[in-house]
Amino acid sequence: MKQQQITHALNQISEQAVPDTLNLWPAIQTRLPNRRPQPSAVYPLRRLATVAAIALAAIVVIMAVPPLHALAQQIIDSLFIASTGSEQMTQTYTVDIQPTPTFAVIPQPSGLAEVEAQAGFDVHEPALPAGYVFDSANYYAEGQAVYHNYHFGDQWGSRNLVIQQQPLSALEALEVGPNAVVETVQIGAFTGEYLTGWWDSEVALTPIEGSSQAVVEVESTWNPNIAMQWLRWQDGETAYQIMFQSATLPSSEYYNGGDTTSPGYLTKDDLVAIAASLR
């Protein structure tokens, strides 16, 4: 009786406020992000071999197109330079979907000593915030850049810290959105630049019938709320960059400032402190 009474009252209260004719779909449609929930089969591919080839091609494109680097959990090699176009840009490429030895562009992760030997310069290590552990390091010969990767506890993906070091002469321009806000920060005796956000990219890859190629269309929109923070500075002839990612891709947190409350979150000041600690 008591339970029925309270349930009845709750039903009546809520039915008065929310009629059966409610229709949220139009409003939800307008809020849907400009991407799909990673369908299990987007393209009607006939053979698994083709799927594998396209996956390899996609990796190459991701590594080649700056706005896609974040998708591959990698870092780009360039400065903060505002895009001269709109907040949205579309890039179209034709790529070969047949795997060849040139696909081996992604270096295998290794230890810091190993990449230091490959790079030929001293790699400076940070004083890590509590709970952060070393993950791996890579050396990209093309940009003469060393990347060392760290994460908080077991939260790879939602608490990622990547430090990049390379000769200043090898640094390339990084295009950020025209609305990106770049702040000047002081890192010890050096002046650095800090910003938040990244390109929100959707990739459409369409195999060309009767050929071994595919058209890749990348539509990117700058989103200052994407859960990525960037800090860049130079010390003499060496350029540094720190990237911190505070939410897993894809997640709603990733597109809305990240998970800023749970342990391991790093603020701008934390990143500056890490930068100052590099030795």
Partner 1 sequence: MKNGGEMDEQQAVRRLKQGDIGGLEALVHLHQVRAMRAAYLVTHDRAQAEDVVQTAFIRAYERIHQFDSQRPFAPWFLRSVVNDAVKAVSRSQRFIELDNDDFSWEETLPDTELSPDDSVEAEEVRQTMWDALAKLPAQQRAAVVMRYYLGLSEAEMSQELTSPPGTIKWRLHTARERLRKLLTLTDLYLERRPE
Residue ranges binding partner 1 (CB under 8 A): 2-3, 5-7, 9-18, 20, 22-25, 27-28, 31-33, 36-42, 250-252
Which CB sits closer to partner 1, 15 or 217? 15
Instruction: Pick the closest to residue 241 from 249, 229, 255 (CA basis).
Output: 229
What is the separation, in whole angstroms, between the first and last Cα of the chain?
Answer: 71
Which CB sits closer to partner 1, 39 or 236? 39
Which CB sits closer to partner 1, 8 or 191? 8
Beta strands 238-245 and 190-196 are unpaired
Q: Least distance (Å) from partner 1 to the CB of residue 261?
A: 11
Q: Least distance (Å) from partner 1 to the CB of residue 73?
A: 18
Instruction: Pick the closest to residue 274 from 124, 127, 125, 123 (CA basis).
Output: 127
Instruction: Pick the closest to residue 69 from 259, 247, 243 (CA basis).
Output: 243
Q: Least distance (Å) from partner 1 to the CB of residue 43?
A: 11
Q: Least distance (Å) from partner 1 to the CB of residue 228?
A: 17
Provide CB contacts within 8 A for 244, sequence distance 6+. 160, 161, 162, 228, 229, 266, 271
Which CB sits closer to partner 1, 36 or 178? 36
Element (H, E) at 82: strand 80-82
Structure tokens given for 99 = 């795997």
Q: Least distance (Å) from partner 1 to the CB of residue 9?
A: 4
Q: How many CB atoms lie within 10 A of CB 266?
A: 21
Which CB sits closer to partner 1, 193 or 202? 202
Which CB sits closer to partner 1, 9 or 105? 9
Which CB sits closer to partner 1, 36 or 267? 36
Q: Least distance (Å) from partner 1 to the CB of residue 19?
A: 8
Q: Least distance (Å) from partner 1 to the CB of residue 152?
A: 19
Contacts 24+ apart (CB under 8 A), 184-190: 185/231, 185/268, 185/272, 186/272, 187/231, 187/233, 187/272, 187/275, 187/276, 188/276, 190/233, 190/234, 190/235
CA gyration radius for the chain? 23
Beta strands 183-187 and 88-96 are unpaired
